[in-house]
Chain A
């Protein structure tokens, strides 16, 4: 009465389904033409800049650019692991380290936008003005709620530099007024909006942000708030998979007159978000 297992009608059908599903899953990847993966920041993606300029890049080169948006720290890590062909971020210090370590080929400056401090319209800390350091000092002195991204992003790195420059030692001064969300710009602004707190934000994300609540810009226009973006090809010598040619074409294009013009042309409600400043010839 002992019987061995014979694959019946049922199991062969299952096998066919499994094969079909594997093919189906692989299909979208295989069906695409040339594409590169760009690791970039939430600020550029969420502001809508990429949706505006990438079609022009694709039209010019026939290359599709796929953007994975995350904090600058994570975006650089993606490059370090070889998961991106191009890194397009905004933390000059970290970027230079990235290139110095041999992960990036060469850093090119592309554009800048600026940071703003947003806060309650009533401005209980009296932080309003043009001076970022004075504004932060006022917030810390008033123990007014401030929401930090605390996610090792470019914006977070900038925020920490401003606190330091303002002479405020967060390590000692960090009270309940200083809240760390550990998340992206958008979620941090959502938190600030809900708490009616101050926060440092990039102008692009702020302008495209909808859930304003009672928040508005309280500090802007300080030279120190300028936020430089750089672009670099991930070093093919480190990661053989890097699409050197297509990736380089992307770098070349964003710093070319055509790319720079496309960046300059992007605006929300008539307000230009990013200011191209690539040096001619790299």
Chain B
């Protein structure tokens, strides 16, 4: 995957109205290849809506998302949706839908499970796995599709610290292989550990895009400063 040509994402004037509320309000954003981006912002700022819009799940009322070249993408949700079949079949299903033939399908599914440390439970029904295992399976399913961009919406929000560490390890390893990571989180520690750059969202707009090591000590926007103060009151 590392050898694939990188793709740049341009979001221009994105406006999304959900239930009469402007979730995104003329948001502009450029995501360059090779970085790990964490989107931060207060509750209701529009982080999840942004990810879904970039991924194509939500059609913006105005504006557009363009890619510099054809780009494969996948998304992992806060609450993973597991199909009522085995862990292994959850992955082969996604591959079959995307036209991956046998025996390639089986090979890739097995590799994906091994990648997230679930090879031993391949035949277990996905629905009876633990929350952490389900999220790892969701990651494996997304990874098997060999995405250029992987969107993750609060992937560890409902997990315990052990499972969270495991998920972070997997995400970091995907990124190391060249998968472009774009994720949201409420966990600032996680953001520090995983982010190369931070995109800060306030009231449906991206108020800043800053390198991660700079952001936490010197946020550029006033809103981000207030947010960090609220989240890290000892500062």
Contact = CB atoms under 8 A, between A and B. Distances in A.
Contacts of A3: 97-99
Q: Give the interface SS of chain A, mostly helix, strand, loop or mixed.
A: loop
Nearest to A4: B99
Interface residues of A, number: 3
A257 B113 CA distance: 85
Contacts of B99: 3
Interface in A175-210: none
A1 B98 CA distance: 7
Interface string A1-31: 1010010000000000000000000000000
Contacts of A6: 96
Contacts of B98: 1, 3
Interface in B167-193: none
Interface string B209-235: 000000000000000000000000000
A6 B98 CA distance: 11
Contacts of A1: 98
Contacts of B97: 3
A3 B99 CA distance: 7
Nearest to B93: A8
A6 B96 CA distance: 9
Interface string B138-179: 000000000000000000000000000000000000000000
Nearest to B99: A3
A185 B98 CA distance: 67
Interface in B77-119: 96-99
Nearest to B56: A1
B104 to A, nearest CB: 16
Nearest to A6: B96
A6 B95 CA distance: 13
A3 B96 CA distance: 9
B145 to A, nearest CB: 10
> Which 5 pairs show the lowest CB-CB distances between chains A and B?
A3-B97, A3-B99, A3-B98, A1-B98, A6-B96
